[in-house]
Amino acid sequence: MAAERLVVIGGDAAGMSAASQARRRRDATDLEIVAFERGHFTSYAACGIPYWVGGLVEDEQQLVSRDPETFRNKFQVDVRLRHEVTGIDLDRREVVARDLENGGTEVREHFDQLVYAAGAVPITPDWARTDADGVFGVQTLDDGAALLAWLDSDPRPERAVVVGGGYIGVEMAEAMIQRGLSVSLVERSPEPMSTVDPDMGALVRKALCGLGLDVRSGVSVTGLETRDGRVSAVVTEDGTLPADVVVLGLGVRPNTALAAEAGLPIGPTGGIRVDLRMRVVDVPGVWAAGDCVESVHRVSGQPVYVPLGTHANKQGRVAGINIGGGYATFAGVVGTAVTRVCELEVGRTGLREAEATAAGFEFVSVTVESTNRAGYYPGARPMTVKLIAERRSGRLLGAQIVGWSEAAKRIDVLAVAIWNRMTVDEMSGLDLGYAPPYAPVWDPVLVAARKAVDAIR
Amino acid sequence: MAAERLVVIGGDAAGMSAASQARRRRDATDLEIVAFERGHFTSYAACGIPYWVGGLVEDEQQLVSRDPETFRNKFQVDVRLRHEVTGIDLDRREVVARDLENGGTEVREHFDQLVYAAGAVPITPDWARTDADGVFGVQTLDDGAALLAWLDSDPRPERAVVVGGGYIGVEMAEAMIQRGLSVSLVERSPEPMSTVDPDMGALVRKALCGLGLDVRSGVSVTGLETRDGRVSAVVTEDGTLPADVVVLGLGVRPNTALAAEAGLPIGPTGGIRVDLRMRVVDVPGVWAAGDCVESVHRVSGQPVYVPLGTHANKQGRVAGINIGGGYATFAGVVGTAVTRVCELEVGRTGLREAEATAAGFEFVSVTVESTNRAGYYPGARPMTVKLIAERRSGRLLGAQIVGWSEAAKRIDVLAVAIWNRMTVDEMSGLDLGYAPPYAPVWDPVLVAARKAVDAIR
């Protein structure tokens, strides 16, 4: 019997990163590892679902970065698929789970260390709770498979309504277009992609409309219509949209029901509170990582909830290194995100205007129009860069980019600048790569920084 | 008559940026501006010449960002094209020039402020000094026009030899391929692209060979053969290469003959010594900017000579703001450069290994193979990232990237990290944009940083 026992709740990025990092540092005689996963897969890329549905990725197996057999054989992790954890008993240090494949048999497993990585649950408004067929979420590979089966069913769906204009919403809208459906995108906020400021969101809306997407922003959904047990329309404040298929992309919230029940501390964002090492605050031997925790925003200093695979992987890794006896910390987030929709590229980092105001900053905003390449170089496309900088200090607080090619990932330059608390004045001197295929001689980031310097004065 | 008189030597990026920035702050009653330019153009993009020669850019006028008429009319700059400056008299504060179009008439102009922005001169070894036709440099638009005329002449050139495997060399090699010629590239160093380490240069060589380019690295040229007044071959230590056209891309050196004669201080790199504000050290009222000056490398702390349009523009701007009565400084360089050859992308920043050693650093190097997109996303292509980090501290000293698509410009992330003296440990936590079309869930930069952390321990 091993010296210690680690139980992991959730077999996706965060949980399995923790398991494999712990294993790298402690062998099976020292640390036994059991992982419970409700679904059929481990370590899969949920963010790849839109591309699978859209046909760019052929096989769901491509989205699985490490399968259960690899974890079992290579990492000696006792992976229990289709096991739903139903309780955590901190006093007895036990996890209680149901075997979904085996008539719900109850399993109890002792732990010395526990990693809570239960991820997120989709936000599902009351109107979306229906028994009718044809309404889909986009969280698990099973969701993707069900949607794909529906799209191939008879009668073949022709009209899709995607509800929610954030990343997953616009990506799913693109997937439906790629499948040949006519698509409406309904978003409650004034503009889609509300993680960017409304002025940048307006650029996104115009671009998406130009791509043949029927964008209805500033519109709330109030209900669904069904016919013969199938969805037939989405009812909005602004009229009824016929629909053979409805995709819900309304975002997610931390999956903390079990955690709260067990008494783990929940923060103001709804995520579990953890320290730098991903230890659950004030609960010895219990760790949490991924889409169920809150993180510190390095600009506002406030807790934020940012469910992204990139953070889940890092946080799980940090927890696992620490469980393994190493030392690692999660340094927080600056709110970087990128997406592509039918070639339109959107990137953001730091705080958007509303967030900066909420955090207490006074700031100036500047927006510049430039191009991704030298203007004379073939394939030069327009690119809009917006910077938000603190008044007086000039510290960069946030940045957003909308463009058409090789645009979004440039946000990383600004993310690193924000990470290092750079001012726009210093940024305007940055030594960025220049060659005609990559940028005008004044990189758009530099042009924006110069403009911000002038605005602050 | 204006209160002061500014004379600018050199009508390209640095000189004309200085002129226009000075003008923005001081009108023509306060500051008279005269600019001498030996050639036919102002403010042109020499770095665009390969794309013009290759046919990607149709018209040389596209490479001119601002023409002399604009400077004359909009900025009230007295631009004197085809005027070669022959002397600077610091005691009398006069510039002496010859009007090349007018039988060499001598002109003398008084200055209160002088901007020396004479740029660079191509490095031309003795063997390349020939009266034979068919040998071309790539520095001015006139060079480009002459080469294009030659490529269209009868008999039509079919075999090109490009001498010099740096940025301009590989870009010109691509241009010749695009024009349908068979091309050999000869480089004295063991690998082409000697601004990256030899191991990364080897990747470049293999890739270029795969693209149909005959790369001969580690080979010195010893002479040219000519026939009937035309070049017919390039003679190397390793055999004779038949050639109907020879392109010289051996780099440039600072054009400081006049400056040295006038007594301006020349630094160890051969460039003019300037202070933070681009004032020539110890010479009141005289400024210098662009390809004729040396800069401070922010990592080594040493002076370096980095002739790039991006620096020339910034330096000229800084000089002009200061001449205009404002305050601006040039913060130095970190050695960032990017290029693309037939889709192969190369980026570098900071110090390469030999430079780090010369600067006195001890370091570790790590190289990782990754992809530009999630592995399952269509169009994912391999990408190699190399990091050089200081021993013990883990401070990032240099980085190099070789890849096939959306690869090179990622070097900017590393350039900003170096600028801010980040350690690889801190870098491994960076919040970089993640979505399947842009990166694997662990961005290649993060994977490399993690590996460097392990290597330092």
How confident is the model over B167-196, as a mean pLDDT?
A: 95
Please tell me the CATH superfamily of domain B337-452, with its number: FAD/NAD(P)-binding domain (3.50.50.60)
CA B87, CA B262: separation in Å to the nearest integer? 7
pLDDT at B191 over 90: yes
Q: Percent of chain B having pLDDT more than 90?
A: 93
pLDDT at residue A342, as a whole number: 84
How confident is the model over B329-342, as a mean pLDDT?
A: 96
pLDDT at residue A59, as a whole number: 86
pLDDT at A25 over 80: yes
Helix, strand or coil, per DSSP, at residue B363 = strand
Is A338's CB within 8 Å of B435's CB? Answer: yes
Q: Which residues contact B330 (CB under 8 A, 6 or more apart)?
A: A429, B274, B276, B277, B278, B295, B311, B314, B315, B318
Closest C-alpha among B333, B328, B330, B332 to residue B22: B328
How confident is the model over B160-187, as a mean pLDDT?
A: 96
CA closest to B330 among chain A residues: A429
**Which residue among the candidates B47, B209, B292, B342 is catalytic per the annotation?**
B47
CA closest to B335 among chain A residues: A431
Q: Nearest CB to A434: which of B330, B338, B429?
A: B338
Cβ atoms < 10 Å from Cβ of A243 = 27
Q: Give A313→chain B minimum CA distance, Å.
A: 8
CA A410, CA B411: separation in Å to the nearest integer? 10
Confidence of residue B230 (pLDDT cuts 50, 70, 90): very high
State pLDDT tens for residues A358-375.
999 999 999 999 999 999
Domain ranges of chain B: 4-121+253-323, 124-250, 337-452
- More confident: B9 or B131: B9
pLDDT at residue A302, as a whole number: 97
DSSP B115: E
Q: Nearest CB to B47: which of A329, A436, A442?
A: A436
Helix, strand or coil, per DSSP, at residue A296 = strand
Average pLDDT, chain A: 96
User: What are the DSSP calls for B129-142, one per residue?
Assistant: --SSBSEE--SSHH
CA B206, CA B213: separation in Å to the nearest integer? 10
How confident is the model over B263-285, as a mean pLDDT?
A: 98
Confidence of residue B117 (pLDDT cuts 50, 70, 90): very high
How many A-B residue pairs are in contact by the CB < 8 A criterion? Answer: 196
What torsion do the CA atoms of B49, B54, B60, B62 make, to the nearest 10 degrees?
Answer: -90
CATH architecture group of domain A124-250? 3-Layer(bba) Sandwich (3.50)
Residue range A337-456 forms a domain whose CATH class is alpha beta
* Beta-bridge partners for A252: A122
- Catalytic residue IDs of A: 47
Query: Given CB atoms, is B420 within the 8 Å cutoff of chain A?
Result: yes
Is B431's CB within 8 Å of A47's CB? Answer: no
Query: Given CB atoms, is A330 within the 8 Å cutoff of chain B?
Result: yes
pLDDT at A65 over 90: no
Confidence of residue B342 (pLDDT cuts 50, 70, 90): confident
Q: Which residues contact B203 (CB under 8 A, 6 or more apart)?
A: B384, B402
Beta-sheet pairing, A221-227 with A230-236: antiparallel
Residues of A with Cβ-Cβ distance to B334 under 8 angstroms:
431
* Beta-bridge partners for A395: A423
Cβ atoms < 10 Å from Cβ of B184 = 22
pLDDT at residue A1, as a whole number: 76
Q: Which 167-226 residues of chain A touch chain B by CB within 8 A?
A: 167
Rounded (10°) angle between helices B13-25 and B309-323: 30
For residues B119 and B46, the answer to whether their CB atoms sit within 8 Å is no
For residues A151 and A133, the answer to whether their CB atoms sit within 8 Å is no
Q: What is the 3-state secondary structure (H, E, C) of A113-179?
A: EEEECCCEEECCCHHHCCCCECEECCCCHHHHHHHHHHHCCCCCCCEEEEECCCHHHHHHHHHHHHC
Q: Give B115→chain A minimum CA distance, Å.
A: 20
The answer to whether domain A4-46+60-121+253-323 and domain A337-456 are alike in fold is yes
State pLDDT tens for residues A197-213.
999 999 999 999 988 89
Is B434's CB within 8 Å of A338's CB? Answer: yes
pLDDT at residue B46, as a whole number: 84
Record the tokens describing residue A14, joined without a space.
């965060």
Q: Percent of chain B having pLDDT more than 70?
A: 100
Query: Given CB atoms, is B278 within the 8 Å cutoff of chain A?
Result: no
State pLDDT tens for residues A117-145.
999 999 999 999 989 999 999 988 999 99
- The label of the residue with tokens 């975002």 reads A251
**Sign of torsion over alpha carbons B438, B440, B441, B445:** negative
pLDDT at residue A47, as a whole number: 87
Confidence of residue A60 (pLDDT cuts 50, 70, 90): confident
Residue range B4-121+253-323 forms a domain whose CATH class is alpha beta
State pLDDT tens for residues A292-328.
999 999 999 999 999 999 999 999 999 999 999 999 9
pLDDT at residue B45, as a whole number: 82
pLDDT at residue B12, as a whole number: 94
Record the tokens describing residue B10, joined without a space.
């050199």
Tell me the backbone φ, ψ of residue B98, rounded to 5 degrees. Answer: -110, 135
CATH number, domain A4-46+60-121+253-323: 3.50.50.60
Average pLDDT, chain B: 96
How confident is the model over B247-256, as a mean pLDDT?
A: 96
Is A433's CB within 8 Å of B337's CB? Answer: yes
Is A336's CB within 8 Å of B63's CB? Answer: no
Is A420's CB within 8 Å of B415's CB? Answer: no
For residues B274 and A406, the answer to whether their CB atoms sit within 8 Å is no
pLDDT at A186 over 80: yes
pLDDT at residue A64, as a whole number: 87
